[in-house]
Chains A and B, each alone.
Chain A
Amino acid sequence: MIPLALVVIPALSAGLAYWLRSGRARSRVLITCGVVHLLLVAAIWIEGDHAVAASGWLAADALGRIVLTLVSILFLAVAHYSVGYHAEQRARGGRRGRAFESCILAFLAAASLVTLSHHLALLWIGMEATTLAIAPLVFDRRDRRSLEAVWKYLVLSSVGIAFALLGIFLLATAQPTGAEGGRPLVFGDMIQHARQLDPAWLRAAFVFVAIGFGTKMGLAPMHAWKPDTYGEAPGHVAGLMAGALTSCAFLGLARVTAIAFAAGQGAFVRPVLIGLGLTSLVIAAAFIVGQGDVRRMLAYSSVEHMGILVLGLGLGGAGAYGAVLHTLNNGLAKGLMFLTAANIVLAMGTSVASEIRGLLRILPASGALLVIGLFAVTGSPPFGLFISEFTILRAAFTEQHPWIAASTILLLVVIFVGIAGMILELAYGKPVPSHAARGGGGSTERASLVVAPALLAAMVLLLGVYIPAPLADALARAAAVLGGHAP
């Protein structure tokens, strides 16, 4: 019953929040729901694979459980941050709409549905619902630029996800009717009876699903919506998208990939995934170097990490283990970076890099978090992303792809130089007095705006030095589903 509760409770809270008139009451609903959700996720870890609901349509296997945990942690962090953010905005006389809490709670319900669905069409419904729930939040400032961003986001994502639906119908067509095919579109049954799937339909299905969920992940060349959307959405909303939404889309792609592997289509699937991964790395490197806006730079960093995920999935072996671990690490690091970026925009009134200098002096806590985040997102030791990227790179060597490993390392170095060049200048440069004054002096940082990113930073750091035994076990089992193994 717990899986059902994880979807229903946020959905009902979304309705409740819309009905409440007082902003403080809505915040209370938001935080309570986030805490309850996280507690239920903890219960799922204790219950293990027995947590099944709706006659096997909803279940928490190792892979889904890891993404679910990431979604739940990020949601609570963003929810906590948003209370301080809205208080700060109110203090400056800004107005805000009533819909924020409802939309973000609806997003939590939909994302939980994606992670728990073992029926692929149900997974699609959740995926589309996440898109729609978050769209009104992109249009937060209600000006031309955010209008353009939300339109691009809606049209590209909707068309992409329509292709994913076509892919899922094609997958159903690949399944033989009757008992020998298993229940239609149920993940476990499809894996079990994968050899009965028709190869032609299965390949067509994989291509459409890769385009569809690849668009939602923001893999190049389907990433056009990403810099605009992350650049215009409020920082914490962008953090939730870059950390949680893209991870859910990766989960959808990973499930269909697992079916294709089980059906013996690895030779067709792997080059597609590796190609998408390398393209994303190249595009990210090209646009990060010389990027002039902090949030757009982070959007291209997200394109980079999505590329690393599909690269790990495509390489197989220990790469699959690395990809699942990287999902967790990247999600937490993106939450950290976007929340910190939101603090900067709040204080300086801009995210244009050339107008921001000397952050360590103006905003000591956020400035320090930004520098920590720089080393976290670029995969430097001792952060978690170093471990997962290293695992994937080593898999490239052991799976006989030295050229892929070499070009990936080169691109990662270019990206490191690009990101470090921008962020170190922001942190250490000489403050520009006029801009420091624009944000109301910026001399005090609210503690409530620093707690959430600091905790996320601590988690990324922790994952770099120590992986708890239950998580290691879940990672190994998730990797096994994806045709790989623990390193």
Chain B
Amino acid sequence: MTSLTELILFLVVLSDFAVLGTSRLSSCIRAVALQGLLLGLLPLVIDESLTRHAVGLALGTVAVKAIVLPAFLRWAIREAAVRREVEPLIGYTASIALGIAALAVAFAVANVLPMRGGEAELLIPTALVTVMIGLTVLITRAKALLQVVGYLMLENGIYLFGLTQARRVPFLVEAGVLLDVFVGVFIMGIVVFHINREFDSISAARLTELHE
């Protein structure tokens, strides 16, 4: 069981780097959808027994993070006729380098933290690195749509961290968190759509009218 968990976590880290390294918007969305699918599988493999709680969480996660939200983001690209390139503020090589640095920091921090035992060894560093790479995408990408992708990755990282507590946090709470993320991305998507219509490009870098 543990080797399967670690394989999935390894793939999650790979999908983080895929978002950092690709130049096409649609590939980024595909990578984040794959990440959502992997996240959905995790509760099933971490728990030895298949509880109703784990199955419900897995189904909800896959439905929201792997199917509905990526489909919605693809809709936004198509409807808003967004140009297909990522247009990063820093180069792809620099992005990857930042990602590797984040990976090193994540492992260093995870080594220091006292664990209560029982959790998969790679879960905490994977969670941390996903949070950090999500933040990197949010900050270094000018396109509003990619900032939404970054936010989604940030939430994915926090979800991974939440999995260490999954057995103790009731299902209602997880459902509520998923619903909030869902509505949040939905509203962001609609705003992205309006930004594109107003500014003829969904680049958040053009949002500069308000300042002191």
Contacts and interface: CB of A to CB of B under 8 A. Distances in A.
Contacts of A142: 194
Nearest to A200: B114
Nearest to A164: B158
B165 A158 contact: no
Most buried by B among A129, A147, A231: A147
Query: For the complex, would chain A's binding face be called helix, strand, loop or mixed by DSSP majority?
Result: helix
Interface string B159-172: 00110110011001
B114 A154 contact: no
Contacts of B154: 159, 162
Nearest to B162: A169
A128 B184 contact: yes
A151 interface: yes
Contacts of B209: 144-145, 148
A154 to B, nearest CB: 6
B1 interface: no
Query: For the complex, would chain B's binding face be called helix, strand, loop or mixed by DSSP majority?
Result: helix
A374 B131 CA distance: 43
A215 B37 CA distance: 31
A45 to B, nearest CB: 28
A456 B75 CA distance: 46
B98 interface: no
Interface in B161-209: 161-162, 164-165, 168-169, 172-173, 176-177, 179-180, 183-184, 187-188, 191, 194-195, 198-199, 204, 207-209
A124 B181 CA distance: 12
B79 interface: no
A151 B189 CA distance: 10
B113 interface: yes
22 contacts: A121-B169, A122-B172, A122-B173, A125-B179, A131-B184, A132-B184, A135-B191, A139-B194, A147-B194, A148-B207, A154-B184, A155-B188, A159-B138, A165-B162, A169-B161, A173-B164, A176-B116, A184-B168, A198-B114, A201-B113, A227-B210, A228-B210
Interface of B: 113-114, 116, 131, 135, 138, 144, 147, 151, 154-155, 158, 161-162, 164-165, 168-169, 172-173, 176-177, 179-180, 183-184, 187-188, 191, 194-195, 198-199, 204, 207-210, 212
Interface of A: 119, 121-122, 124-125, 128-129, 131-132, 135-136, 139, 142-145, 147-152, 154-155, 158-159, 162, 165-166, 169-170, 172-173, 176-177, 184-185, 198, 200-201, 227-228, 231-232, 287
